[in-house]
Structure formats: C-alpha cells, structure tokens
Amino acid sequence: MEKNIEVSLLFDFYGELLKPSGKRAVDLYYNEDLSLAEVADEMGITRQGVRDSIKRSEQQLFEFEEKLGLFKQFSKLEQGLDEISALALEIKELSQDMQITELADVIIRKSGSLKD
C-alpha cells in the first residue's frame, strides 16, 4: 500500500490520539493535500517544524497500529464480509429453492450494512 494512503487510513483510526499540532499538520498535509510550505503558513511555524511534526506523528500512527492492530483487524473483517457476500450470492444463483434464495439475500444485505 502506498505510504500516503496508509498514513491517511491510520490517521482515520488513530488521529484523535495525536497531539493537536501533529494532528492538524497531518490532516492538512495528507487529507487537504497542502505542501509543507502551505501547512507552515497555515500553522504559523517553519517548514522544518511542520516536517518534524509530520514525521513524529507518522511514527506514532505506525506505533499505534503495531500495538493495537485496529486497522489490520478492520481490514480482515471487511475482507471476510466481502467473502461472505460473494458466497451468499453464489448460493442464491445456484439454488432453485425460494427460501434459500431469500436467506441468501438477507445475508448479502446484512453483510453490506455491516460494511457501511
């Protein structure tokens, strides 16, 4: 996975655990797509200060994931729901029994709603 995308996803999970200044710098840089100079202007600090804050925050995000594993667990659950939906769809397409196809529809809807 590309680092920018990975940091942005980890920020969604753990951003609230960062210090306010680091949280703001990461949000502006990764989510708002501002340059280091633009973030520095927005925050009223030097470009180097922004870079240091972002690097420190990135390191914290990766450490949070290493210790807590919430994003990894979320990804596994989402993949499992996709597999369940695919299997239910296959059952629905192969079955001639109306009750089974209705139950397969329920499974597909439920797994879809859990992903939302």
What are the residue boundaries of the structural domains of the chain, listed by start? 3-68, 73-113
User: If pLDDT is split at 50, 70 and 90, which confidence band does 110 have?
Assistant: very high
Q: What is the pLDDT of residues 3-60, one digit of tens each?
A: 999 999 999 999 999 999 999 999 999 999 999 999 999 999 999 999 999 999 999 9
| Predicted pLDDT at 103 | 94
What is the pTM assigned to this prediction?
0.80
| Predicted pLDDT at 116 | 78
Pick the CATH number of 3-68 from 1.10.3720.10, 3.50.50.60, 1.10.10.10, 1.10.3980.10: 1.10.10.10
Other C-beta atoms within 10 Å of 37: how many? 11
b/e per residue 60-93 (b: at least 16 CB within 10 A): bbeebbeeeeebeeeeeeeeebeeebeebeebbe
Q: What is the mean pLDDT of the chain?
A: 95
| Predicted pLDDT at 73 | 96
Query: Which of 34, 26, 22 is closest to 9 using CA atoms?
Result: 26
